[in-house]
Amino acid sequence: MNDWASVATYDYPFDESLIAQEPLADRSASRLLRLDRATGGCQEARFTDFPGFLNPGDLLVFNDTRVWNARIHGRRQSGGKVEILVTRLREGGEVDCLLKPAKRLPPGEAIALDGAAFLVGPRTPDGATGRLTAPDGAPMAREAVLAWLSAHGELPIPPYIHHQPENPERYQTVYAARLGSAAAPTAGLHFTRPVFEALAERGIEQAFLTLHVGPGTFLPVYGSRLENHLLHEEEYALETSVAERLEAARRSGRRIVAVGTTALRALEDNFRRHGATFAPGRFATRIFIRPPDRPGAVGALLTNFHLPQSTLFMLVCAFGGYEAVKKAYARAVRERFRFFSFGDAMFIA
């Protein structure tokens, strides 16, 4: 019997040469591995085949968050380098963040930035707090902070990608609309306007929610056990019209398809907190989906391939079935699919 609380349960043999360091010239040119949850069977295809794997009337749910230039580089008074990853922006320049080197940066220390300053605040379960100000310490309004980040920050590319993409828009979905993520919802990176046209022609309904992806999406799990592992809190919003369409699909027995693990987490959190229904509003979640849990909000999932022992791989194992997903990943490694953010896709139904 598998030990679901052991991190080692979610390991798999992996060749680092499979990590996609560059996006393809054509977003939709990716390969696609289709996994049948009922049989465990796999089918290799191209992403342009994806609309044909859907049924007319399916409701496809996307996460329309947009990645901001959340990574900042500064210096301590001693001259030491500091990295700040902004995970949430509040009013008056107040932010939630991750600091590096975290243990050496006490609350109250001032960090020099290019055209701004940063004051380290108290620690939190998710990292730290702080305040972005003008160089003289004057408060910065939210709009001024956003403008400064746009000019001086950099995209928070995951650590397994070794350099920034030549075109930063390739780390954004073509439908990205609402600024606030520390990472891209990468399953959506494959979609292009022609793919959306093919979906419309097939009668596939589309809806958009917003979940601002936090750093927990690529941070490792520390320790060997999961009993006390706490995911970073993420905020999401579900508009009234979208909740109504989700409810209509659920009641009529039409399939809800999540585009990416972030969309699935938002849908599953919303579904559970409202008693197996969907309701509009703004929410914050730390939902941790892993075996033997089985998500019930959606009927199919489009996702990329995820890191061994990561919480995202655990989610996929919970949704697709542990043994079936492990076999599918072994095939993906053997057939040299491209892995992680800029990699190929997997459709589980």
DSSP 9-42: GG-----GGGB--S--SSGGG-EEEEE-TTT--E
Alpha-carbon span 146 to 132, nearest angstrom:
11
Whether 258 is in a domain gets the answer yes
Q: Are residues 174 and 292 in the same domain?
A: yes
Q: Is 57 exposed, middle or buried (0-12, 13-18, 19+ CB in 10 A)?
A: middle
Count: domains in the chain: 2
Q: Are residues 116 and 176 in the same domain?
A: no
Q: Are residues 52 and 107 in the same domain?
A: no
Per-residue confidence band for 220, with pLDDT thresholds at 50, 70 and 90: confident
CATH number of the domain where residue 111 is located: 2.40.10.240
Ramachandran category for residue 90: left, alpha or beta (phi over 0 → left; psi -120 to 50 → alpha)? beta
Q: Can you say how many angstroms the Cα of residue 52 is from the centroid of all Cα atoms in its chain?
A: 25
Q: Are residues 119 and 14 in the same domain?
A: no
pLDDT of residue 206: 98
Cα torsion for 151, 108, 126, 78, to the nearest 10°?
Answer: 70
Alpha-carbon span 103 to 112, nearest angstrom:
18
CA angle 46, 47, 48 (to 5 degrees): 90
> Dmax of the chain from CA atoms?
64
Question: Percent of the chain having pLDDT more than 70?
Answer: 100
pLDDT of residue 82: 96
User: What's the mean pLDDT in 305-327?
Assistant: 97
Is residue 218 pLDDT above 70, yes or no? no
> Which residue bears the tokens 């992403």?
47
> Which residue bears the tokens 């905020």?
235
Q: How do residues 269-282 score in pLDDT, each as one tens digit? A: 999 999 999 999 99
Structure token digits, residue 307: 């890191």
Q: How do residues 148-186 score in pLDDT, each as one tens digit? A: 999 999 999 998 999 999 999 999 999 999 999 999 999
Q: Are residues 135 and 214 in the same domain?
A: no
User: What's the mean pLDDT in 62-77?
Assistant: 96
DSSP label at residue 50: G
Whether 159 is in a domain gets the answer no
Q: Of 152, 183, 202, which closes a domain?
A: 152
Q: Of 96, 130, 152, which closes a domain?
A: 152
Q: Are residues 88 and 177 in the same domain?
A: no
Q: Are residues 106 and 255 in the same domain?
A: no
Q: Of 125, 152, 179, which closes a domain?
A: 152
Q: Are residues 171 and 108 in the same domain?
A: no
Whether 157 is in a domain gets the answer no
Q: DSSP letter string over 185-197?
A: -GGGGG--HHHHH
Q: Are residues 58 and 109 in the same domain?
A: no
Q: Are residues 181 and 323 in the same domain?
A: yes
Q: How do residues 82-122 score in pLDDT, each as one tens digit? A: 999 999 998 889 999 999 998 889 999 999 999 999 999 99
Q: Domain residues for 94?
A: 71-152
CATH number of the domain where residue 289 is located: 3.40.1780.10
Whether 1 is in a domain gets the answer no
Q: 35-42: long-range contacts (C-beta < 8 A, 24 or more apart)?
A: 35/320, 35/324, 35/325, 35/328, 35/346, 35/347, 35/348, 35/349, 36/349, 37/319, 37/320, 37/321, 37/324, 37/348, 37/349, 40/321, 40/323, 40/324, 40/327, 42/327, 42/328, 42/331
Whether 46 is in a domain gets the answer yes
Q: Are residues 234 and 305 in the same domain?
A: yes
Structure token digits, residue 106: 């006490």
pTM score: 0.95
What's the start-to-end Cα distance of the chain, in Å? 25
Q: Are residues 132 and 241 in the same domain?
A: no
Is-contact 37 323, C-beta < 8 A?
A: no
User: What's the mean pLDDT in 331-348?
Assistant: 98
Cα torsion for 170, 174, 177, 182, to the nearest 10°?
Answer: -30
Whether 243 is in a domain gets the answer yes
Half-sphere exposure of 303 (CA within 13 A, CB side): 26
Q: What is the mean pLDDT of the chain?
A: 95
> Which residue bears the tokens 């397994």?
160
Q: How do residues 285-306 score in pLDDT, each as one tens digit? A: 999 999 999 999 999 999 999 9
Whether 158 is in a domain gets the answer no
Whether 100 is in a domain gets the answer yes
